[in-house]
Amino acid sequence: MDAFVLKIIAIISMAFDHSGYLIFNGHFSYFNYIGRFAFPIFAFQISQGYIHTKNFKKYATRLGIFAIISQIPFMLFIHYVVGENFALNVFFTLFLGLLSIYAYDKLFEKYKSIGLLIPICLGILAQYIKTDYGFYGVAIILLFYIFRNHKYIMAFSFALATITKYTIDIYQLVIIHYQNIEVYKIYGLLCICTILPTILILIYNGKKGRDTKHLLYLFYPLHLLLLYGLYFLKI
């Protein structure tokens, strides 16, 4: 399985995830289970992008620019279609994750504590400014890079991080906010669906496949605008 196929799977998964909110009037649905495949694949591809890019500054700048471009479509989508408050879109998470890889790669060998401290701070920043997936998102991007040459350790680390994330989410919802016990089932299935893309990552062959450099960059804001437009046609 090459990078092109992985990217297409992730984009289709993301489209299901976001379309579900439109179809089911902003409510959670089984579409969201399918949608859990998207981010782990995008996170993995950021680590691969860092490895293979010939120009880091250009790569980081492109992510940053599209994070800014995508923010208005994202806010329109989450406010009107999903019914949630302010957050920053996933490109900001990918951007901070890329920076965390760069900091780790350049500093860890000589200055171990600093090489880990900067990525941790970037993860905390992601959580604080409310990027999509927050600290967890930055952390797994870095994990995919650190264990890039040890696929099964990478898969185990990712699974452990994901289980930890959903355990914390369940604790906050059930114990702190007194949500219904049904949350256990929903978040348990979400956790499993988030881990499942590891299988696809493990069979990734390291090849680029068809050149689709700008496919995600264009698809992400455009499909959010489309869903926002369909929302108003629907009502």
Q: State residue 197's pLDDT score.
A: 96
Q: State residue 179's pLDDT score.
A: 65
Q: State residue 174's pLDDT score.
A: 73
Q: State residue 177's pLDDT score.
A: 59
- For residue 228, CA distances in Å to 73, 75, 79, 104 come to 8, 10, 10, 38
Q: State residue 178's pLDDT score.
A: 63
- Domain span holding position 179: 3-234
Quote the pTM value: 0.94
CB 196 within 8 A of CB 159: no
Domain count, the chain: 1
Surface-to-core class of residue 163, CB atoms within 10 Å of its CB (0-12 exposed, 13-18 middle, 19+ buried) = middle
Q: State residue 208's pLDDT score.
A: 84
Q: State residue 206's pLDDT score.
A: 87
Q: State residue 235's pLDDT score.
A: 58
CB 91 within 8 A of CB 220: yes
Residues of the chain with pLDDT under 50: none
CB 168 within 8 A of CB 123: no
